[in-house]
Amino acid sequence: MHIHILGICGTFMGGIAVLARQLGHQVSGSDAHVYPPMSTQLREQGIELMEGYDPAHLDPAPDCVVIGNALSRGNPAVEYVLNRGLPYTSGPAFLSEYLLRDRWVLAVSGTHGKTTTTSMLAWIMEYAGLNPGFLVGGVPQNFDISARLGNAPFFVVEADEYDSAFFDKRSKFVHYRPRTLIMNNLEFDHADIFADLAAIQRQFHHLVRTVPGNGLIIAPAHDVALAEVLKQGCWSTVEHFDETASQGWNTRNAQADGGAFDVYWRDDLMGRVTWPLLGRHNVLNALAAIAAARHAGVPPKHAIAALAEFRGVKRRMEQRAQIDGITVYDDFAHHPTAITSTLQGLRQNIKGNGRTGAQRIIAVLEPRSSTMRMGVHQHTLAPSLALADHVVLYQPADIGWDVAAVAAEIGPQAWAFDTVPAIVAHLAQIAQRGDHIIIMSNGGFDGIHQRLIEALQTSGGTPAR
């Protein structure tokens, strides 16, 4: 079967392309924006990429067109599909129909931490010799690919609450029917499709309804929004996790930066995690992953051993270079809560290693997500960046609020620029040995990472590997 994917370079749709290819189908795809790491992954898999949405890409007609949720009516390729009556479906529906039907699905949902937690869970099960299939909205560095079929029965999937397609406004995750469900956290996001938090909670409850009675739901002990979801009705066993709650999964004797912690099930010590990841948020992600893996038969001691070898996910505090004592990171954070957690983890790591004085954090942010661009977070953005010594904000031409006003609220240590070259020039001017420069965006940010690396290299040093 020939499958053509519209919007193929999105992290989710790129994963669908890889899985379809591994199922033995001929796969091609179109996208308007092609950038690594997904474009690199797809080409390595031998999948043909086409720039733009020219209807000619669909001639000769494929057997099925999988349409990504970034596309809408008026798109020339979409209109061609509809006018010619070509068979079409959504990404999550394709996944459900062709792959998940006979699998034990372990789904990871939540506003924050889905990609990292999904990657942890897949790695734990891999370490245990289970060879799970998985689909992650990023590239786990233990696998260097975002999706694979794996062996039956287990399949680990990042379960996104965003809508499925222009013709299916249900959240993607309602298609997956998980037996094991992690609900990491819940805050208001995706303001382009959800009117308020209650609308998102409604979709999460639709997800809860699909978990069987002999399934397991794993949720934080003190997340009010998720507690309200479960109060609407729950027919499955629930296990809670928290840093302190003794009635479920909890941690004790944790380092301030999250680099090591004891894992407890209630009051029973399961073992101690020591790993390279930072931040309280990753400690909680780990508890959820350990709990989910146990439900699939992996003893906690094996999960803890696996996490010691977990290498993280590309674009999640990924160190891109270290040049003349200046470290450059690429991070996906684009919500105030995630920004705060990322900066807290790095700040605690600097303190814990006795690194003071010139060890500055420079946060560089592109407000790229739909919710951010709509200005929903503009009044909480400044507090989320408080732990940075310097802040550099990008002002896109097509958003309706003033990024410079946020910089002014932060103070004289913050600047706003309307071009990427201006940001790079500024960073190259102020950066000094010992600095940690964190570039935060959920997109390509106009190639700023490589541009900055090249600018800094004029003073010596080599990229980290």
CATH of the domain at 187: 3.40.1190.10
* Alpha-carbon span 158 to 295, nearest angstrom: 17
Same domain? For 166 and 210 the reply is yes
Q: Is residue 464 part of a domain?
A: no
Q: Kindly state the tokens that stand for 231.
A: 């109060």
Same domain? For 303 and 322 the reply is no
Residue at which a domain ends, from 37, 62, 89: 89
Cα Rg, the chain, nearest whole Å: 22
Q: Is residue 381 part of a domain?
A: yes
pLDDT by 10s per residue, the chain, length 465: 999 999 999 889 999 999 999 999 999 999 997 766 677 878 888 899 999 999 999 999 999 999 999 999 999 999 999 999 999 999 999 999 999 999 999 999 998 889 999 999 999 999 999 999 999 988 888 998 889 999 999 999 999 999 999 999 999 999 999 999 999 999 887 777 888 999 999 999 999 999 999 999 999 999 999 999 999 999 999 999 998 867 799 999 999 889 999 999 999 999 999 998 888 889 999 999 999 999 999 999 999 999 999 988 877 778 888 898 899 988 877 678 788 878 888 888 787 655 455 689 999 988 877 767 767 777 788 888 988 999 999 988 878 788 888 889 999 999 999 899 999 999 999 999 999 999 988 777 878 988 999 989 876 544 443
Let me know the angle formed at the C-alpha of 354 by 453 and 260, rounded to the nearest 5 degrees: 90
Q: Is residue 392 part of a domain?
A: yes
Same domain? For 275 and 392 the reply is no
Beta carbons of 172 and 13 less than 8 angstroms apart: no
Same domain? For 246 and 148 the reply is yes
Domain holding 356: CATH number?
3.90.190.20
Domain count, the chain: 3
Query: Model pTM?
Result: 0.81
Domain holding 52: CATH number?
3.40.50.720
In the block, residue with structure tokens 């999988």: 66
Same domain? For 130 and 207 the reply is yes
Same domain? For 54 and 169 the reply is no
CB atoms within 10 A of CB 212: 11
The alpha carbon of 162 is separated from its chain's Cα centroid by a whole number of angstroms, namely 13
* Alpha-carbon span 406 to 84, nearest angstrom: 48
Same domain? For 261 and 396 the reply is no
Q: Kindly state the tokens that stand for 108.
A: 């990871």
Q: Is residue 465 part of a domain?
A: no
| pLDDT at residue 110, rounded to an integer | 93
3-state helix, strand, coil in the chain (%, to 5): 35, 25, 40
Q: Is residue 83 part of a domain?
A: yes
Residue at which a domain ends, from 89, 117, 144: 89
Same domain? For 357 and 297 the reply is no
Q: Is residue 96 part of a domain?
A: no
Beta carbons of 68 and 13 less than 8 angstroms apart: yes
Same domain? For 118 and 211 the reply is yes
Helix axes 336-352, 280-295, angle to 10 degrees: 100
Same domain? For 152 and 263 the reply is yes
Same domain? For 149 and 296 the reply is yes
Residue at which a domain ends, from 89, 124, 148: 89
Q: Is residue 431 part of a domain?
A: yes
Q: Is residue 313 part of a domain?
A: no
Same domain? For 78 and 119 the reply is no
| pLDDT at residue 353, rounded to an integer | 58
**Domain, as residue range, for 334:** 318-459
* Alpha-carbon span 286 to 225, nearest angstrom: 21
If you ran DSSP here, which 8-state letter would residue 62 be given?
P
Strand partners, 108: 158, 182
The helix (run of H) or strand (run of E) holding residue 440 is strand 436-440
